[in-house]
Amino acid sequence: MAEILRATGVDEGDLRIVTELYWHQTAQVEESWKTLEFCVIPHKDAKDVYILGSLEDIQTALDESNINITTIASSRHVGPIKSRVEEWQRNLDLFFRTLDEWMNCQQSWIYLEVIFSAPDIQRQLPNEAKLFVIVDKSWKDVMRRTAKSLNTTPTCSLPSNPSKMNGTRSGIASTVAVLHPGSEAELLDVQQ
Q: Could you tell me the pTM of the whole model?
A: 0.76
Q: Is the pLDDT of residue 160 over 80?
A: no
Specify the CATH number for 2-191; select among 3.30.465.10, 3.40.50.2300, 1.20.140.100, 2.60.40.420. 1.20.140.100
Q: Is the pLDDT of residue 191 over 60?
A: no
Q: Please state the φ and ψ torsions of residue 3, each to the nearest 5 degrees.
A: -65, -40
Per-residue pLDDT of 94-145, as tens digits, reads: 889 888 888 988 998 999 999 999 999 999 999 989 999 998 998 998 899 8
